[in-house]
Structure 1
Amino acid sequence: MRRRLVPAAAAAALLALLLAGCTAGAGQSDAPVMEPGEMAPQQQVEGEDAAGGTADGEQFADRSMITVGWVSITVEDPVDAAQQAVDLAEARGGRVDSRTETPGTDAEPPSASLTLRIPSDDLDPFLAELRELGTVSSVSMNASDVTQQRKDLDGRIDALTASVDRLQQLLSEATTIADLIAIESELTTRQAELDSLTQQRDALVDQVDYSTITVDLVTEGVAPDPQPDDFWSGLAAGWNALIGFATWLGIAVGVLLPWALAALVIGAIVLVIVLVATRSRRSKPAAPDTTPGASDPSPPAAPPASDAAPQPPRERTPQA
């Protein structure tokens, strides 16, 4: 039993050392190690100009910038101009992420909207070509510096790549099932993290390499009808307004007429039901009371009239 525990303990200790080394390697700086007798970087540039020790152009070239812009152009035919803009973008090595075109109608002029991805190095020449399509009414550009974010992702990806390589080597050298399970679990976790960071870095690089430009292509709006300036033009304007009101009124009546008919039919049905119920109550006779001992509801019979005339009252004779 102790012989089996010794290789497992050794593999666990080796795995712990490997993880500690990866963590420490990710936090170390990239400063080079100087050999004895080698001058420090500060000593090597003492003879150079302090202001021009590192060229500004080289520093700017090493920066990672994400450029997002919006351009509005007034053209005669937005749909045709949209196709021309797409051709210009594809000729520069770009692509189209989204495209929307709206044909013109009587109430709305035509328009088009494009979302283009242009190589960052060709952005300025592309904008110059885009201005030739029509009259530029507005331009908005925004640049974000993501140099540090990209460096951090690159450093983490390098450290995780080295860690995955070492774990794969340990996996090939493992001799017990416990070692295989432990190494495979850690390898799966680190490989998933490496894939996630790689996708983030690729998306960031794509945004840096290709600028995003939204192009809105519009045409001049339809001029409003002139206001009447004399009697006949006022009369024509009033007549047109009357015709328009009558047309609108006819439409409103046509919409409300089915509802009015439906309400009339329902009201007639309810009225008929109420009349029938009222008449049935009036024509129904009252039911006789069959309760024992109840008095006869008919009025009492009058006493028979006597044929004899009524006798006057007798006078009483006072007694002595």
Structure 2
Amino acid sequence: MTLAAATNENLAHVSNVLIYSAMAVYTLAFLAHIAEWVFGSRSAVGRTAAALTAEAPARPAVTVKKAGGTAVLERPEVITRAAPGSRDVPDGPGAAGTSEKGDLYGRIAVSLTVLAFALHAGGVLTRALSVQRAPWGNMYEFSTTFGMTAVAVYLGLLAAKKNVRWLGLPLTTSILLDLGLAVSVLYTDSDQLVPALHSYWLWIHVSCAIISGAALWVGATSTLFYLFRDGHEVRLAEGRATGAWDNALSRLPSAATLDKFAYRINATVFPLWTFTIIAGAIWAEAAWGRYWGWDPKEVWSFITWVAYACYLHARATAGWKGRKAAYLALLAFACYLFNYYGVNILLSGKHSYAGV
């Protein structure tokens, strides 16, 4: 049987149409999210430092009372914070704030994202059916599947009643960039795999890498927003928070909430990324007769693992909480991105199945 006979060109064409259709709907969702932020409530960002500190209860003084000649010490209430120097700032009202119009646009954006996800998933599925294999045999297929999985993580968090609708705008922006790059630069015709990829480990190893990357994207975006929000809270305390940018940042969850959310995402997915590397080593032994050969993809996967391990360790070290740990988390995600795009495009090795 020839490769041409093994490929269903009709299904491959349907896949392309569905991907382009998904991009069109993602664009509408992107515009709806922008409208959500624009028409959202204008939060009071002009609060003074005194108003900010008033949100945290002042430390009560220690007083001594006498009862029948006996001194009685009234112990003050103890306030526990997540980290030294953290601010007791409440979460913002969300992208839509308290505006009914903003909330309407937000709901429309989420609905459009669900529709785009259905089209996107259909495109990935029909691509798989066109060649009867896992739909991640080259960079184009990996990119489309990665984007679909990132949206699935976002929608799953929404379904779990998590306060993540603020992720909608960066998500749709990232997905449009991801799919735009996939269809314009990385596109590869639907075809069969090279012999080395014919293994059930393709389903296990690569799917774990995709799920890990999608979750790490959520963690990295949350970390980036943490840095923005943290700067906003500093300006707020100093009475310098004015303008549209601070108005938008005031609607995000607090810096402490974003920091904790990013840490939990990264910590949760780290074991899966560890398993991804282990599964890759097992597959390498079956395909090439060695578990580890210092191939560029293997090296950068390990570098990514080390970077996230350092981040998780830094979070357990008092001197590396907050912004320092956040910078390390972003560096770790940059390693993940280079492991995919940089290694596949710029470097050559046994993992050179980019198809571009």
- TM-score, normalised on structure 2? 0.25
- TM-score, normalised on structure 1? 0.27
Which is strand-richer, 1 or 2?
1
Q: Which protein is bigger by CA-based radius of gyration?
A: 1
Which is helix-richer, 1 or 2?
2
